[in-house]
Chains A and B, each alone.
Chain A
Amino acid sequence: MADPNKVDPIHQFQITKIVPFGDGGFAFTNSALFMVLAVGLILAFLILSTGRRAIVPTRAQLMSEMLYEFVANMVRSSAGTAGMKFFPFVFSLFMFVLVANLFGMIPFFFTVTSHIIITFALAALVFAVVIIYGFWKNGLKFLKLFVPSGIPMYILPLVVLIEFVSFLSRPISLSVRLFANILAGHITLKVFAGFIVTLGSLGFLGWLGALLPLTMTVAITALELLVAALQAYVFAVLTSMYINDAIHPSH
């Protein structure tokens, strides 16, 4: 960094083209690269670790079994046995978000989930599944989701409107939560790390003072690791709750 007073915390989110496809603006970007890397890592890990199918598992096999059990219990407790047919879906989402978040914690890696379009696409996928399966399974009874039982007729239109807006807000909150957490965390991390460089340019006393932001950076790194795992978990839990709504539409 040439000028230590110029720290650009947004720079890490820039999308660069790696392999452009023609002149239409399409390209294989760094975002796409890290999505491919995340999927590749998940696939490689799961296939290699479960390849031997030993009764007494190795550490890697135990890890993927624990991941399986963790997500399976989550789906089962949120959506019941009927929800288990969506287990592959929830497991894929969980693993993708988790690995993408954790990739973001490695220096110089691009954080896929820090772009709202990615998280919104995931949330929209969840809701496409919920709506299509809900109508396919329950027919028009799926619309009961918007009509709570025991509401007097004269207030029903208002309640249905509110419920409808509440339903529409779910994919927004699902995607914004993940995106905002990751974005805010990475910017904070960068800003505090920038303080170290800025203070360091002041000489010895500056380096001494830089110990404070350094401590903060270490602490925030730990916090971000927690957030990365937690947000993947929250995303998967809410996905299975919404799937539960599609299976049992009445409140």
Chain B
Amino acid sequence: MSRARSELISAYISKVYMRFRLLDTQMSHNYVARGFGGGNLLCAGGRIKRNAMSEPNDTGDGDESRVREQSRLLKERIARAQGLRNAAEGRNPEQTAAQNMSGLGRAFRLGTEFIAAILVGAVVGYLLDQWLHTSPWIMLVMLLVGFAAGVLNVARAAAEMNKAAPVPPGSDLGPGEDDE
């Protein structure tokens, strides 16, 4: 949750920067006043100025290169943002999600996963028994299957949570490569 929050805050800050186009320290020429070509404005000011000056044969003037430079920077920023997003997606799907559950949420999840599977097994068995007139045999078998499915559910949920949880510092993770 804190990650999403910090992302939001940075998104908000960049929004403010975009609006005022003042404080972005990545581009030094932003400190030039806007009317003289400062800031990120790709539009009116620069163009008008260029037309007014109307220097012949001056195709490579500062404006054009400035625009190029800015679009390059913009491209870099977009690439960086996309990289961050891709990195977020490359992680194990359940990882970040399970991380954010509190202890109460996790405990309830494990409990209900287990009980629900047993209930489903018993109910399915009961209905099959009613249908095939074999009471109570299928129900007994399905109760056991449901138990197995419950254990599977819990093991799966716990594995997700274990994968998500960071390893506590200083914990012994068993013999590793760097051991003697």
Binding site for B on A (CB under 8 A): 55-57, 62, 65-66, 69-70, 73-74, 76-81, 158, 161-163, 165-166, 168-170, 172-173, 176-177, 180-181, 226-227, 230-231, 233-234, 237, 240-241, 244
A169 touches B149 (CB 8 A): yes
B93 touches A180 (CB 8 A): no
A210 to B116, CA, bound (A): 38
Q: A69-B4, A76-B89 are in contact. Are A162 and B148 (CB under 8 A)?
A: yes
The 5 lowest CB-CB distance pairs between A and B, nearest first, are: A173-B116, A169-B117, A172-B116, A165-B149, A166-B149
Chain B contact residue count (CB 8 A cutoff): 46
Total number of residue pairs linking A and B with CB closer than 8 Å: 120
Q: Which residues of B contact A56 (CB under 8 A)?
A: 15-16, 19
A78 touches B4 (CB 8 A): no
Cβ distance A156 to chain B, nearest Cβ, rounded Å: 14
Closest to A62 in B: B12
B108 touches A177 (CB 8 A): yes
B117 touches A165 (CB 8 A): yes
A78 touches B100 (CB 8 A): no
Cβ distance B84 to chain A, nearest Cβ, rounded Å: 12
Q: A55-B18, A166-B153, A177-B109 are in contact. Are A66 and B8 (CB under 8 A)?
A: yes
B119 touches A230 (CB 8 A): no
Q: Which residues of B contact A81 (CB under 8 A)?
A: 89
B149 touches A162 (CB 8 A): yes
Of B11, B89, B95, B115, which is within 8 A of A176 by CB? B115
A69 to B12, CA, bound (A): 12
Q: Which residues of A contact B3 (CB under 8 A)?
A: 73
Residue B102, interface by CB 8 Å: yes
Binding site for A on B (CB under 8 A): 1, 3-5, 7-8, 11-12, 15-16, 18-19, 85, 88-89, 91, 93-98, 100-102, 104-105, 108-109, 112-113, 115-117, 119-121, 124, 142, 145-146, 148-150, 152-153
B104 touches A78 (CB 8 A): no
A173 touches B104 (CB 8 A): no
Of A70, A76, A181, which is within 8 A of B108 by CB? A181
Cβ distance B114 to chain A, nearest Cβ, rounded Å: 8
Of A65, A173, A226, which is within 8 A of B8 by CB? A65
Task: Knowing that A173-B112, A177-B108 touch, tell me 6 more A-B residue pairs with CB under 8 angstroms.
Answer: A80-B89, A165-B148, A169-B117, A181-B108, A230-B105, A237-B100
Q: A57-B12, A168-B124, A237-B101 are in contact. Are A180 and B94 (CB under 8 A)?
A: no
B89 touches A173 (CB 8 A): no
